Every structure is written in C-alpha cells, then in structure tokens.
Structure 1
Amino acid sequence: MSTPASPSASATALPIPAAPPINTALRPSSALLRSRISIGCSCHSDVSEREHVRIRVLNNGTDGAIVSQGYQSKVRKTSIHGGTCVTDIERLLAIEEIKQLKARYLRSVDTKDWEAFGAVFAPDGQLDISDDVPGCILAGRENIVRAVSVPLAGCVSVHHGHCPEIDITSSTTANGTWAMEDMLRWGAESAYPNRTLHGYGHYVETYEKAGGQWLIKRMKLRRLRVDVGAHA
C-alpha cells in the first residue's frame, strides 16, 4: 500500500484575486465636500447656561463625520434697582473693589496716613459720627480728615471691619453694612478726656464709582456699645 502524499506536497498555489478597481464615481465631489447639513442642538452645563449652537456634519456619502462643533457661554446679567443690568462678574468685581476700599480706610486711620484716609472718600463725602458726638455730621473730604485726625493724635487705635453686606445698586453706586469693632488708647499726655475706648457697632455706607474708582459717599457709624475709661 502506497503512502498518501502529504498535504503540503499535494497543495497547489491559489491565485491572489486582484483588488477591485476604485470607482471614482462614488468619491464625493468637491461640491459635496463643501455641503453641510446643519443640525440644531442645545448644550447645557451644570456650571452655566449654554447658548443654542449648531453642529455641522460633513455629508460625504457615509454615515457622516462631525467636522466642527462648539458652544458659547451665555453671559448672565442681573437686573438691579432702576432696571440697570450688570453681569455677575461685574457685580463680584465691584464687591471686591469695595472691600479693598474699606480695607484702605481701616489701615490708613490706624497708621495715621491721612492722605490715604482722605482719598477713600468722595470729595463731597459725609461722615456721620453723631452716635459718638451728638449732632456731628462731617461734610467734605478735608473736613472729615481734620475732624478725625485731631482726636486721634497721640492715640494708638485698632479698627476692624467684619462680615460685609454689599449691594450693588447700579454700575456706579452701591450700599454696604459692616460689623465693626474699635479699640483706642490715649497716652497720659493727651488732652482727650478719655484714656480708653472700646466700641462695637456697624458702619452703614453708600459708595459711588467716579473716574474708575469706588469711593465712600456717606458713612454712618452706628454704635451698639461703647466702653470708655477716663483718666485716673
């Protein structure tokens, strides 16, 4: 009995089929490449609203391919008193600038930098200290500086402002309320009748923006409590 030939010996080479010719008729023309199908869609985000956008899909005879897409943030505006609108970013920037303004007031009064102190007030600003000095409402930047600087001569003072509540009423006006505490110590040589003062209360203020800068238009020092110590 003869031995059968191995498969490798008996196999014959099969011809490799030629690649089919490219049907150029199926290739999209340049006109088709330029055509787009506009599909409307709405995009939303947990962070902010998104405007209605359009996604352009290339019509190339297949399932379609997205060639461009995008979204734009809708800038939210807040309607405030008098119908004026400011964006949320503008409102937050104004609040931060007013906080910086108040910080300069507190620092300059304690460091006795009277030029910087006067600069936080509008030229026609008012300072109402009638809770400390009955009937005393100071008008004008120069009068405010003079009236505050004289009794604080020879005094070590510490003024703190806390918990600001700031309401932007237009692009150039605002209101604010600050919790406050001040501690003052006069030396023995001072002519001021008190040796110490420890006060608590609120600053109630209005602001205006002029020349790109926020300024204090009116300040009322509203006392809740004042502890004073007289000379021995």
Structure 2
Amino acid sequence: MKRLHPNGKAENALLAFCVVFLWGAAANVDIGITGFVMGIPFAIGLLALLHRRSWRFITATVCLAFGPLVGAIASDPPASRLHYPTLGAAVEVPAGWGYVNYQSEAGKNYLASPERLARPRTGGAAVHAFAQPLSLRLIRVETTHPDFVLHYHGILEDARGTRYDIDERELLESVAMGLLWSPTLAGEPALHRPWLHWLGNLMYWPLAPMAPFILF
C-alpha cells in the first residue's frame, strides 16, 4: 500500500475529519460525559497524523482541536449561552398555574398548567397552585434520556431562588399559545442552538452501523 505523503490531500482530509469530530465531543451536551469518551479515537488519530508535521502546525492544530474540548469540560453546558442563547429569558406565569411535587423525585418542582394540575401523573403527587402571577427566569437547560429518548428541560427560577422544571416543548408551546408570556422565547423552535445540537450528534457515531435498521 502506498504511504500517504504527510502533506497529501487525503491526510489533510483525515486531519480535518478528526478535528470536526473532536468539536462534536466538545459540543455534546445530550449524551453526557460519554461524549468525551466517544471523541478519544479521533484524538488518537489526530495525534498519529501530526507526528511528522512542523511544530507550528502541530501547535495550531492541537489548539484548534483540543481548545474547545478543554473549555467544554471546564464549563457548565446547561448554563452556557453558547449552547442555549435564550438563557436569562423572563417568563411570566399567570395565576392558576402551579407546580407538582412527586414523592419519587424529592426537591423537584414541575411547573404545570391548570389542566396538568387537575390530572397529575400517579406517584404520590402534591399539587400547588399559584394564587398570584409569578415572574421566573430561565437559568439552565438540562437533558434527560427516559427510554433512550432525548428530552430537554428548562429550569426556571423565581426571585427567592426556588426552581421549577418544565419540558422544553411544553414551555415553548405555552409561550406560542399565549398561556405564558416571554418575548425572548416567542417564536423560538428550540432552546438548544441548532448547529451545536447537530455537531454534538456526531458522538452517536458508534450507532452508524445500525442506521439502516433504524431508518428503514
């Protein structure tokens, strides 16, 4: 087999491929810490491809590839405006809305509409309705994976520091329908910045062999 020249187009393409997938590991917030683990093969491949390059090229490439990854590890993605540009949005909740506590999830307050308050899911639910309108602010966006399906949750906080959890879809649909008031969230299709969402999805690459069975 003919050895690739260190400056060959094919090797440069492989370098770029590894860099992009390392960016994917840095952008991942959906799969959790395993996103960094899934980026390890591309880190090894990148270092192997760099071993005969000039030190300037190596330094520039390593900073470009690993800088975002180090920053992502050191940061708190659920509270990052880079990932979630609408963080800080004010949300006005009318009287009649409230929250639900479940015995199985102590300390969690699930923000709920009057309709949801009337029929909470089973599990020792304690229902609380707001007698007056309440001003909240979006401070975090967290992810869960029940049944291996990704869900985003907005974390809203009041002036006293009490936090309320609400599903992304319910939050955005309620704002769109005028049930909640938030000029910042009005018209927003999602809380996660789209290009970072798709970049992070590269960390699903181990599932690529199963794609034909999933899609067809």
TM-score by length of 1: 0.26
Greater helix content? 2
TM-score by length of 2: 0.28
Larger Rg: 1
Q: Relative contact order: is structure 1 or structure 2 higher (C-alpha 8 Å, sep ≥ 6)?
A: 2
Greater strand content? 1
